Structure 1
Amino acid sequence: MQPVKDRQGTAQGASASPFVMETQCPFCSVQCKMRLTEFAPNALLAAGGNAPVLDYDEPVQYAVEAKPNKASEGRLCVKGMNAYQHAVSDDRIVYPMARRGDTFERISWEEANAMMAERLQAIAAQHGRDAIGLYGGGSLTNESAYLLGKFARVALRTRYIDYNGRFCMSAAASAGNKTFGIDRGLTNPLSDIPLAKCIILTGTNIAECQPTLTPYFTKAKENGAYIIVIDPRETGTSKMADLHLRVKPGMDAALANGMLRALIEEGLVDEKFVRARTKGYDALRAHIEAQSVEAIAELAGVPAESIRKAAIAFGKAETGMVFTARGVEQQTDGFMAVRNFLNLTLLTGKIGKPGCGYGAVTGQGNGQGGREHGQKADQLPGYRLIENEAHRAYIAGVWNIDPSELPGKGVSAYEMMEKVHDREIRALIVMGSNPVVSNPNANLVEEAMERLEFLVVADMFMSETARSADLILPVTSYLENKGTLTNLEGRVLLREGSRPAPGEARHDWRILCDLAERLGRGQYFAYSDAEEIFEELRIASKGGVADYYGITYERLRREEGVYWPCPSLDHVGDGRLFESTFAHSDGLAELVPVENHFPDERTDEAYPIYLTTGRVLSHYLTGVQTRRSHTLASRDFESFVELHPNAAKRFGVADGQLVTLTSRRGEIVVRCRVTRSIREDTVFVPMHWGDVQNVNKVTNQALDPTCRMPGFKVCAVHVRPLVVEHYA
């Protein structure tokens, strides 16, 4: 033990025993492990491998230490180091609240459950069960995500459930399933990254979104790797690249076609691998040979020489990996764009061996597990399909109901908002999400929330969505709620929850169980803790694509994480997939021709510049949690728009000035940042703020036809200086 010193440098003596919590970061998909020590002033702290972080502005002081683990290797980023601040915030909702006119009034849990049961049953009786919807989140534990899906289908018996993970990985998930026969974030362990001799990072800004992964890539560079970054902006990630391709927004699939053309021209296709382990090559090759690199360069806004350089580097490298994220996936052709980068991986034979593979860099903490076990409209636990009769029969048997009682497939997250707007859905339960800020065309979503007959929001804070609620339910934070999460590798981790819940806050799963009891379906939800739910999840996933049957809490505590699929208790879990066969019944991966798709919305005289969106280092998703952390909020306290100097001159705006961005759907007000780090034909706005700064008031609601991902990353806007009188 070493004494903690106050700001004057005086050693303090111990006056209270510190409370030590073993936990993991609630934010991104790396799920870094940490130790949080909570202690009264004048307490002593143990010195760890990392220097303790103290917050002298809190009545109680805290220290955060990164813990060694297989994913983050003992690293924490600024968000993880300060995550505790929102969990201990005075802004926490700590008791149920019901709307009374324009204000909220504290009520008991008994009153809250009675209100929910009465209102939901009345709406179902008048309008049918499908008049009720559930909207979940990709940060819920596997146990809560599993139970939310079961609650929708067994307690409420509605088809309408989806979650904000639809906006995270649906394009990559669909592409992985179609190409490989399985969707898992990474096809190989993170430890393979330093073995890769060429790495393509497309549409991902790992340096700001998953910064604890950055050392894997710097280690690869030290080992001689050539790194290619594809992004319209210069970012922290592009600064470590050997080659930065500043693609025009929405033209990622075309750029991949150019690289494929160069591979074929240079004779860099691994013909042996392609003929033995894939199908569809002849059609793909004919499609590619009908194009030219020069024509694609014009479409993509990238020099032909750079496209060839990237393709040759990747094709000639002995080992290589491709990573995609939202920049590629949040497009109206996101599914096919990802498939084209998978074509690139397969044509070079770079998968199923050390230093080779594909990775979809998950955005949310449990974006992977959240869809595997039932939050997605068309899926049942274990990645089973709700319209597959055998899958329905198996899950119905686990749940002890007749298969005919299971509803059919619902619709995607944004389409649920449209149904709310059209009043097909009359009641909505939102758990772990903030759809008013996270959906495209957010003005329509705000209107939809106001049209509901009954809106229940379960959250830690008064989010933009909660402000429209009829009933707000207080939920526990990551420090209080035990459960499992699945990181970007497909590694299942156990997060302990040892801090007492504040006030009357309850676990998500407990709220669902109590409500099921009031609805007369309590016999299907008789759980006493999260581990009991996980034990049922194991059985429900058994034999499915995402098989967790061999994973137990005991194993997770002992082994610090287990990869899925893990079909038996003695199975070690598959860290590297596809070493000898793919997951399709014939064992082959599918190649497919991909067209040069243009964005759904193009620029014109009225809206002459493209807008793309993304994240900043200090915030997470819609900022509901990180904006309650004073340390994080102070780093980025308002939104902004990045413009190239030439674009700023054209629009008559100056650095630091407030500007209005207008699209065909709405407008926002943000502060201007003039920078040469972005293309002249593009502006960038982050996604973490609501109200007048909510970038999704202007984004396009057009959806990918396959995965129903909105085209967040491209829309046409106009920029002008803010005219104060306009808002008077």
Structure 2
Amino acid sequence: MESKTIARQCSLCEAHCGILVTVEDTRVTRIEGNPDDVLSRGYLCPKATALGALHHDPDRLRTPVRRVGDTFEPIGWDEAFREIGQRLRAVRAAHGPSAIGMYMGNPAAHSSSVLYGAALRVALLTRNFFSASSIDQFPQEFVAWRMFGANVLMPVTDIDRTQRLVVLGANPAVSNGSITTMPGAKQRIKDVRKRGGTVVVIDPRRTETARLADEHVAVRPGGDLYLLLGMLHVLVAEGLCDERAVRAQCAGWDDITALVADTTPERMAPHAGVDAETIRRLARDHAAAPSAVLYARLGVCLQVTGTLTHWLVNTINAVTGNLDRPGGQMFATPLVDALRFGKYLPMGYGAWTDRSGTHKSFRTELPATVLADEIRTEGPGQIKAMITYAGNPVLSTPQGGRLDEALASLEFYVAVDMYVTETTRHADIILPPVSALEREELDVVFPVFSVRNNARFDARVFEPPADGLEDWQILARLITELVPLPARRFTGRALTGVLDQLSPLRLTAAAVAAGPYGILRRGRAGLTIDRIRRAPGGIDLGPLQPRLRTLIGTRDRLVQLAPEDFLTAARQAIDTVDAPTDGYDLQLIGRRHLRSNNSWLHNIESMVKGRDRCTVLMHPDDAAARGLVDGAPATVESAAGAIVVPVEISADIRPGVVAIPHGWGHREPGVGWNVAAAHGGANVNLLHDPARTDVLSGAAAVNSTRVRVHPVTPESGAAATVSTAAAG
């Protein structure tokens, strides 16, 4: 029996932890952390151990399939592409380029094939492009664009050198960082305290991260904005800002001081759900620390004030002198330095809108919350055909159950995916790429947001099957099929030949050679793909360095503290009180589990075994007041819909708040994953109103949804079941 061990990374989440994959003959027998990995240092979370099961999963598609009635049958690659090309070109000829929509999910960014995803988006020439970014990170990108001049300039938390870490609406002990790639985050958090620093977590729930912290502040959902306004008032009023750093780096200081003149902790406390003295102390401690950083992520991103909250996070870091300095917010220097060119990328903000005229384009795409309406609403510009790549928007986006029906109404739908999911079950043709363990690549996305500069190669564990295609090869063929006739007769084969030679790895090799560490800049001492390939634990490229001045893309080359639309929206929010309406007396937030990242993992037995993870987490007082007991089913109802989930009671969540994880709801007919169907759960996005969005970026606002929870009755249980089925 032949045995070998391959060093690579786990690509299931942003952490990209280094792993050692042991194979005996054709089976993965062990996956463990790589102690030599320069970023993860041997850390491994349970998700990585599922890579072998994901590769071997009998439910995973190995060949293209075509819909025949209510089922799918295998089809050859050439036949599949030929039919896709004919039908997509026909739709475009009849209805125009925007009649073809495209949705790109999060897993696309976990592979360098994302370059070809972007190329396909360009080739489509459609206005109807959507991605998971409008669900989980538009506010951060929007703030980076307005403050620093480029959406990719989202600063990284320099956790390894900070003396004070304040975490808002993030749970890095579970996520291992997001827009701040920090594998082994639990140890990094412990190290802050070990070196004499302080860790504070601001979250409605006492999260896994909060259990590691010195202090947990149980903010009201949506209250982060008001807490930060109160902190900023204290910093200004008490002269605690680093005015030298502000004057050197920033514009808009006077507007900021005027904005917060009246946002006293006493005034903000009722909105924040945090007492005034705590707000005041948080501000003073942040200013007094030798280095300090506020780190905010998904929990505050998914709110109507997501952009405003991230703006104030960056602003407080800047005015206390913690922007672009060790221990604060910094910018990486990655192998392929996309940050240097971010200022040249078109944002296309407001270049077009959805057909209702409500939602503006941003970074040349529309928010995914309008996708169902753009398919369902008849008239010029209606989406008639769709391409989805590595996404399951039926479960991951708030659509009120309408997207399931909308996808079923399309003239043609092609999906690039490994499974028949709640979304792809509506496809006419599904094109499955090879598994992650059958690819070799150099990650160029997440080093942009890593807490330490590094170069790490993803080695191939298995040779791909002779008839298998990688993601980029599938996307490249789709691009060539979009070339119109008669030009296709002359250029199609030539274009296919060119694209076949331009693998992401070859493109990356050229970019590395020309990058900040490459041989074109550093001569023989520079890095090449081959040199990185030969380092099984990667190459450490050192700590983050101050570099904002070389990156910033604003006209005056200063950080814009006070964009006028931000100020206007903030003034409106200051006078807004979010009160319960129509008996919806609880606020719903999200929740993430260590063994769950996207719906793919729900088809792996080791990731879903044990206790039910799709529950409604409630405070004991709230449960008792409603006659609910732990483990019993309850109806969770909002103005948008209702679902039934088991109750989980814990004092770790703030009274008046409930939490339900997303990504569940696997009981629909026609899906192709048996394990997931046996652990179906419920689709929490049924409870969110797609019209409720961040006021500036247009991102979905799925945190702080008002709900009520009550025991299941025959009437409520039936209604919730119908709603769940309608969502798909």
The answer, yes or no, to whether TM exceeds 0.5 is: yes
Contact residue 381 and residue 540 of structure 1 kept, 8 A: no
State which of 198, 202, 214 in structure 2 corresponds to 1:226: 198
In 2, Cα distance between the equivalents of 1:522 and 1:573?
45
In 2, Cα distance between the equivalents of 1:526 and 1:381?
30
- Residue 39 of structure 1 corresponds to which residue in structure 2? 24
- Residue 617 of structure 2 corresponds to which residue in structure 1? 642
- Residue 684 of structure 2 corresponds to which residue in structure 1? 695
Q: Aligned pair in 2 of structure 1 residues 724, 497: CA closer, same or farther (>3 Å)?
A: farther
Render the CA deviation track for 1:22-64: whole Å, top value 9, x for unaligned: 32112221211111011159xxxxxxxxxxxxxxxxx763343
Contact residue 98 and residue 128 of structure 2 kept, 8 A: yes
- Residue 258 of structure 1 corresponds to which residue in structure 2? 230
Contact residue 372 and residue 381 of structure 1 kept, 8 A: yes
2:95 maps to a residue whose letter is H
Pair 1:20 & 2:9 matched: no
2:616 maps to a residue whose letter is V
Matches within 5 A, 1:424-503: 424-485=382-443, 486-487=445-446, 488-489=449-450, 493-501=456-464
Contact residue 331 and residue 546 of structure 2 kept, 8 A: no
Pair 1:158 & 2:148 matched: no
In 2, Cα distance between the equivalents of 1:518 and 1:507?
17
State which of 504, 512, 517 in structure 2 corresponds to 1:533: 504
Q: Which stretch shifts more, 637-646 or 508-517?
A: 508-517
In 2, Cα distance between the equivalents of 1:478 and 1:60?
13
- Residue 44 of structure 2 corresponds to which residue in structure 1? 76
* 2:106 counterpart SS class: coil
In 1, Cα distance between the equivalents of 2:400 and 2:577?
18
Q: CA deviation at 1:290?
A: 1.9
- Residue 470 of structure 2 corresponds to which residue in structure 1? 507
2:373 maps to a residue whose letter is E
Contact residue 513 and residue 527 of structure 1 kept, 8 A: no
Contact residue 233 and residue 262 of structure 2 kept, 8 A: no
Q: CA deviation at 1:182?
A: 4.1
Q: CA deviation at 1:537?
A: 6.6
In 2, Cα distance between the equivalents of 1:415 and 1:548?
46
Contact residue 643 and residue 672 of structure 1 kept, 8 A: yes
Matches within 5 A, 1:165-314: 165-184=133-152, 187=155, 192-210=158-176, 212-314=184-286
Contact residue 251 and residue 597 of structure 1 kept, 8 A: no
Q: Aligned pair in 2 of structure 1 residues 103, 228: CA closer, same or farther (>3 Å)?
A: same
In 2, Cα distance between the equivalents of 1:383 and 1:167?
24
* 1:506 counterpart SS class: coil
Matches within 5 A, 1:550-561: 553-554=529-530, 556-557=532-533
Pair 1:620 & 2:589 matched: no
In 2, Cα distance between the equivalents of 1:79 and 1:634?
13
Contact residue 143 and residue 530 of structure 1 kept, 8 A: no
- Residue 147 of structure 1 corresponds to which residue in structure 2? 116
* 2:303 counterpart SS class: coil
Q: Aligned pair in 2 of structure 1 residues 106, 450: CA closer, same or farther (>3 Å)?
A: same
Q: Aligned pair in 2 of structure 1 residues 310, 386: CA closer, same or farther (>3 Å)?
A: closer
- Residue 113 of structure 1 corresponds to which residue in structure 2? 81
Q: CA deviation at 1:109?
A: 1.5
Contact residue 476 and residue 501 of structure 1 kept, 8 A: yes
In 1, Cα distance between the equivalents of 2:153 and 2:683?
29
Q: Aligned pair in 2 of structure 1 residues 496, 160: CA closer, same or farther (>3 Å)?
A: farther
Contact residue 132 and residue 427 of structure 1 kept, 8 A: yes
TM-score normalized with structure 2 length = 0.82
- Residue 12 of structure 1 corresponds to which residue in structure 2? none
In 2, Cα distance between the equivalents of 1:597 and 1:544?
43
Q: CA deviation at 1:427?
A: 0.7
Pair 1:385 & 2:357 matched: no
Matches within 5 A, 1:331-370: 331-357=303-329
Contact residue 661 and residue 667 of structure 1 kept, 8 A: yes
In 1, Cα distance between the equivalents of 2:58 and 2:23?
16
In 1, Cα distance between the equivalents of 2:277 and 2:49?
43
Q: Aligned pair in 2 of structure 1 residues 544, 482: CA closer, same or farther (>3 Å)?
A: closer
In 1, Cα distance between the equivalents of 2:163 and 2:394?
43
Pair 1:316 & 2:294 matched: no
Q: Aligned pair in 2 of structure 1 residues 429, 573: CA closer, same or farther (>3 Å)?
A: farther
Contact residue 603 and residue 609 of structure 1 kept, 8 A: yes
In 1, Cα distance between the equivalents of 2:373 and 2:239?
49
- Residue 180 of structure 2 corresponds to which residue in structure 1? none
In 1, Cα distance between the equivalents of 2:596 and 2:546?
33
Q: CA deviation at 1:689?
A: 0.9
In 2, Cα distance between the equivalents of 1:83 and 1:266?
53
Structure 2 unaligned spans of 5+: 177-182, 350-362, 483-487, 522-526, 667-680, 722-728
In 2, Cα distance between the equivalents of 1:385 and 1:179?
16
Q: Aligned pair in 2 of structure 1 residues 456, 601: CA closer, same or farther (>3 Å)?
A: farther
* 2:438 counterpart SS class: coil
2:186 maps to a residue whose letter is T
- Residue 660 of structure 1 corresponds to which residue in structure 2? 635
Contact residue 476 and residue 499 of structure 2 kept, 8 A: no
In 1, Cα distance between the equivalents of 2:316 and 2:470?
44
In 1, Cα distance between the equivalents of 2:546 and 2:513?
18
- Residue 136 of structure 1 corresponds to which residue in structure 2? 104
- Residue 402 of structure 1 corresponds to which residue in structure 2? none
In 1, Cα distance between the equivalents of 2:99 and 2:286?
51
Q: CA deviation at 1:459?
A: 1.2
Q: Aligned pair in 2 of structure 1 residues 558, 267: CA closer, same or farther (>3 Å)?
A: farther
In 2, Cα distance between the equivalents of 1:562 and 1:289?
49
In 2, Cα distance between the equivalents of 1:672 and 1:383?
50
Q: CA deviation at 1:147?
A: 1.2
In 1, Cα distance between the equivalents of 2:45 and 2:101?
36
Render the CA deviation track for 1:520-547: whole Å, top value 9, x for unaligned: 34544545768643554788999999x9
Contact residue 618 and residue 636 of structure 1 kept, 8 A: no
Q: Which stretch shifts more, 460-469 or 531-540?
A: 531-540
In 1, Cα distance between the equivalents of 2:550 and 2:338?
22
Q: CA deviation at 1:287?
A: 1.3
1:457 maps to a residue whose letter is A
Pair 1:327 & 2:293 matched: no
- Residue 586 of structure 1 corresponds to which residue in structure 2? 556
Q: Aligned pair in 2 of structure 1 residues 307, 650: CA closer, same or farther (>3 Å)?
A: same
In 1, Cα distance between the equivalents of 2:533 and 2:13?
21
Q: Aligned pair in 2 of structure 1 residues 535, 506: CA closer, same or farther (>3 Å)?
A: closer
Contact residue 331 and residue 544 of structure 2 kept, 8 A: no
In 2, Cα distance between the equivalents of 1:40 and 1:656?
44
Q: Aligned pair in 2 of structure 1 residues 543, 287: CA closer, same or farther (>3 Å)?
A: farther
Matches within 5 A, 1:668-687: 668-687=643-662
In 2, Cα distance between the equivalents of 1:358 and 1:417?
38
Q: CA deviation at 1:185?
A: 7.2
Q: Aligned pair in 2 of structure 1 residues 530, 68: CA closer, same or farther (>3 Å)?
A: farther
State which of 697, 716, 720 in structure 1 corresponds to 2:706: 716
What is the aligned residue count? 651
Q: Aligned pair in 2 of structure 1 residues 228, 332: CA closer, same or farther (>3 Å)?
A: same
Q: Aligned pair in 2 of structure 1 residues 258, 540: CA closer, same or farther (>3 Å)?
A: same
Q: Aligned pair in 2 of structure 1 residues 530, 169: CA closer, same or farther (>3 Å)?
A: farther
Render the CA deviation track for 1:451-470: whole Å, top value 9, x for unaligned: 21111122112211112211
* 2:159 counterpart SS class: helix
Instruction: Note the aligned Cα RMSD (angstroms).
Output: 3.5
Pair 1:611 & 2:588 matched: yes
